[in-house]
Amino acid sequence: MNAFKTGALLALLMPFGLLAEPNNWERFRGPNGTGKSDSNKIPTTFSATEGVVWKVPLKGTGNSSPIIWNDRVFVHSSEQDGTKRYLISLDATNGKVLWTKEFSGAKAKTHVKNSLASCTPTTDGERIYNIVWNGEEISLFAHDFNGKELWKRDFGKYVSQHGPGHSPIVVNGKIIFNNDQDGSAQLFALDSKTGKTVWEAPRKAFRACYSTPLLNKSPEGKMELLVGTTAGITSYDPDKGSENWSYTWSFTKSPLRTVASPIVAAGVVIACSGDGAGDRHLIAVRLGGKGDVTGTNLAWENRKIFPYVPTMLSKDDFVFSVTDKGMAMCHIANSGKEVWTNRLDSPVTASPVMIGDNIFAIGEDGTVYVFKAQGSFQQIAKNTMGEPVFASPAVANDKLFVRGKEHLFCIGKK
């Protein structure tokens, strides 16, 4: 089976839990955005020098996460002065840079914790799809694995108080791109071979949101695309773009920004929102139904303690989260009942990952906390990367890939 057919099969089967692919981490937070890997060969104890298969300096800087397909790593980056953006391809086995594509750009305002290159690429095994913001406008590019540009789709001016950070995904031959901005919001499905629009769906706009959609098997047994933004959570038919059901978010004060991506656990879809002032609001919405389910499907909500930027994790009936201020927590997925909380020593921006039965959470100072994904808190390791980390890590080929401020690390057994 060739790479593209394999990718198409993965796109169809991964959300149904029928197939695992240990060699690939093809989008933000890996297969279907779960942030989970079944690998049992990645060490829990390491440092910037010990347990490192390779460590390479990256051209430019950025918060884009690395993605991996077999023996290739792809990462998005920007020059510090903003004059250029890059798509970089590396050999996953040794970190050697294979090629670099350059894009013109300019310096522009971002949040102090954001960057000019925070959009994570995605791949189907045949093409790499990456969003580039040149400081004013955004474009979505498709390149082959040799770095040849295949198509480009311009989306015009991008307006956001904090800069870019939204990431596309591949769904059965279509690129799903949630172009959510300050005052403008549109969900696109593009043909992966041409970049032409297959369908588009308008969404109510508030403040720019950066959450990444995911797929789910609905209670009716059909594949649905779940999108969470300040507007709320919506279930779409991924082939047609038609709406199955929607839940409208209601806020106590001003609408909050949705940065963390939604997750599915124990029959509910969970979405978080927040702002820089410290306001937070989580909603857990029961899956299924038709039309407006705002009045019927809310399972539970919390307006105080959950994350703003880091995306949550799920296992069995539990949901695990690490807040921006560094509080690790475990709750019951379908009720919100607290199981445990434990404070870490540093604030966290990167989304944690679950590798086997362990959660790896990386602080902004580069500290890597490793603790059990279970009903009681048990920290088993505390490591350091030796430099700040804001990008979410990736897991593939029994290796952990961590993008620091200056280097890309590959952690594993040599």
d(CA 234, CA 243): 7
* 154 vs 31: CA distance, rounded Å: 27
Helix residue ranges, H only, 54-97: none
Q: What is the pTM of this model?
A: 0.94
Cβ neighbours of residue 176 under 8 Å, at least 6 residues apart? 168, 169, 170, 187, 188, 189, 213, 225, 238
Residue 2 has pLDDT above 80, yes or no: no
Q: How confident is the model at residue 106 (pLDDT cuts 50, 70, 90)?
A: confident
User: What single-letter DSSP state applies at residue 65?
Assistant: P
Does residue 46 contact residue 403 with C-beta atoms inside 8 Å?
no
Single-letter amino acid, residue 182:
D
For the residues 351-377, what does the mean pLDDT come to?
97
pLDDT tens-digit series, residues 125-166: 999 999 999 989 999 999 999 999 999 999 999 988 888 889
9 has a pLDDT exceeding 50? no
Strand ranges, E, within 29-164: 36-37, 52-57, 67-69, 72-78, 84-91, 97-104, 122-123, 127-133, 137-144, 149-157
pLDDT of residue 22: 65
CA dihedral over 253, 299, 371, 215, signed as positive or negative: negative
**SS3 track for 205-269:** CCCCCCCCCEEEECCCCCEEEEEEECCEEEEECCCCCCEEEEEECCCCCCCCECCCCCEEECCEE
CB 326 within 8 A of CB 346: yes
Mean pLDDT confidence for 328-334? 97
End-to-end CA distance of the chain: 29
16: confidence class by pLDDT, cuts 50, 70, 90: very low
| DSSP annotation of 70 | T
Span 20-25, mean pLDDT? Answer: 73
Give the Cα separation of 144 and 118 in Å (integer): 21
Query: What is the residue type of 377?
Result: F
Q: pLDDT by residue (tens digit) across 286-306? A: 999 999 999 999 999 999 999
DSSP output for 360-379: EEE-TTSEEEEEESSSS--E
The pLDDT value given to residue 21: 56
Amino acid in position 201: A
What is the reported pLDDT for 23? 79
102-111, 150-159, 298-307, 372-381: least confident range: 102-111
